[in-house]
Amino acid sequence: MRIISGEYKGRPINYVKNDKTRPLKDSVRENIFNIVHHSKLIDIRIENSNILDLYSGIGSFGIECLSRGAEKVTFVERNEQAIKVLKENLNNLSVIKQTKIFENDIDFILKNKITEKYDIFFLDPPFSDFNFIQNLELIKKNNYFEINNLIIIHREKKCEDNFQGCLEIISTKEYGRSKIIFGKFN
């Protein structure tokens, strides 16, 4: 794995090889950033954004955001192996000062630790996990988002999630097994 663009372009990203985490493929990540950068439907930019990366794993999405000029990224992950590799990746790039890592269950973090608002949210839950919609509802209920915001969700193509009343879907793109959902809170 590598960083695709920006200040750290080409630098490697370490990853975990196990059955509990699945890294976001470089090609899918690149497509996400191309859409964010070029779509007329999305009016938010990575530069100077405050980003919440839920189910962050090794942090490939958040690290790519930092490389592209994000101001700050908050990572939330509970898998110990993934957290260890995430910290290695952040240290290797010397970006620890621009990050915060919460090592716990997402529900606990959203209910007890979040004290700021975010511009961009990235959720990459396990494909079998449908509790992430409750996470979105909690973010919306607690108003953890800026007026201009973007939610990006990575799901398996065959997943049929119901976001009604939770967020407005802007666009959905499919790449192999993956489905990327772009939305916003309103």
| Structure token digits, residue 31 | 């497509």
| pLDDT at residue 169, as a whole number | 95
Q: Is residue 5 part of a domain?
A: no
Q: Is residue 11 part of a domain?
A: no
Q: Is residue 123 part of a domain?
A: yes
Q: Is residue 17 part of a domain?
A: no
What global pTM score does this model have? 0.94
Radius of gyration of the chain (CA): 15
Q: Is residue 62 part of a domain?
A: yes
CATH number at residue 117: 3.40.50.150
| pLDDT at residue 145, as a whole number | 97
Q: Is residue 7 part of a domain?
A: no
Contacts with 117 (C-beta within 8 Å, 6 or more apart), sequence order: 50, 143, 144, 145, 146
Listing DSSP states for 117-132 in one string gives -EEEEEE---TT--TH
Could you give the CA distance from residue 183 to residue 171 in angstroms, rounded to a whole number? 7
| pLDDT at residue 20, as a whole number | 62
pLDDT of residue 7 exceeding 70, the answer is yes
Total domains present in the chain: 1
Q: Is residue 8 part of a domain?
A: no
pLDDT of residue 95 exceeding 80, the answer is yes
Q: Is residue 144 part of a domain?
A: yes
| pLDDT at residue 165, as a whole number | 86
Which residues form the domain of 80?
Answer: 26-184
